[in-house]
Copies of this chain bind each other. A is one copy, B any other.
Amino acid sequence: METITAEDYIKRIYSIERHSNFASTSSIAKALEVSDASANDMMKRLSEQGYVKYIPRKGVQLTKKGKIIALKIVRRHRLWEMFLVKFLGYSWDEIHNEAERLEHVTSESLEARIDKALNFPTVDPHGDPIPTANGELIETEYQLLNDCEKGSAGIISRVSDKSPEVLQYLKNIGLGLQTKLKIVDKISFDGSIIVKANKQIIPLSPKLAQCIFIQPVTA
């Protein structure tokens, strides 16, 4: 049985591994805001318990056992996020921290009931895919808004959930999942992107546009 802390480590290792193959001690430490020494300690513990393969001075990789836990936690996190939005009226910028705690106290039974109550959703309120009950995760590769061409159109299909401020700002300017938009201009000198959505012209900084993923449409 995993402790809450161990679950958090495993989850972070999973997300680091997705773009860097090995998760280094320091990257884990930084992500979890603990000292390198603490992260190193935990790597030994997780390795003993078979959740990670630990290669000293290199980093760790999740084992099959570790990956199952990671996906379970991610699934519960995203199901909770969806649930908080659909059943309790939360908005997408307020749910991350709540889900961060709830994910660790969710039984199989509760997970299944939430899933059913939501009619088996495939994505969370930020458009992130929800792993299935048997640990499959289907990632759709969307286009970064920055990479969309002038004149093209698309639908907002995923938004980075890294920063609540970004989510709150997008909410305020009326951009959400499924919002249809058209790239009316791209300012070359600063990278800004001007879009048209909800019949409004909205300028977006490159940093903001980097948080938005688009499903292209022809129209």
Q: Which residues of A contact B (CB under 8 A)?
A: 84, 87-90, 94, 97-98, 101-102, 104-105, 107, 109-110, 113-114, 117
10 residue pairs A–B, Cβ–Cβ below 8 Å:
A84-B110, A87-B87, A87-B117, A88-B113, A88-B117, A90-B113, A94-B109, A98-B107, A98-B110, A105-B105
User: Is the Cβ of B107 less than 8 Å from the Cβ of A105?
Assistant: no
User: Is the Cβ of A113 less than 8 Å from the Cβ of B101?
Assistant: no
Q: How many copies does the complex hold?
A: 2
A88-B110, A90-B113 are known contacts; what are 6 more A-B pairs with Cβ within 8 Å?
A: A84-B110, A87-B87, A87-B117, A88-B117, A89-B113, A98-B110
CA distance A104 to B106 in the complex (A): 12
Task: Give the top 3 A-B pairs by smallest Cβ distance, nearest first.
Answer: A101-B105, A88-B113, A105-B105
Residues from chain B with Cβ under 8 Å of A109 in the complex? 94, 98
Within the complex, what minimum Cβ distance (angstroms) separates A168 from chain B?
A: 15
Residues from chain B with Cβ under 8 Å of A102 in the complex? 102, 105
Residues from chain B with Cβ under 8 Å of A90 in the complex? 113
Within the complex, what minimum Cβ distance (angstroms) separates A69 from chain B?
A: 17
Residues from chain B with Cβ under 8 Å of A105 in the complex? 101-102, 104-105
CA distance A88 to B105 in the complex (A): 16
Residues from chain B with Cβ under 8 Å of A88 in the complex? 110, 113-114, 117
CA distance A117 to B113 in the complex (A): 18
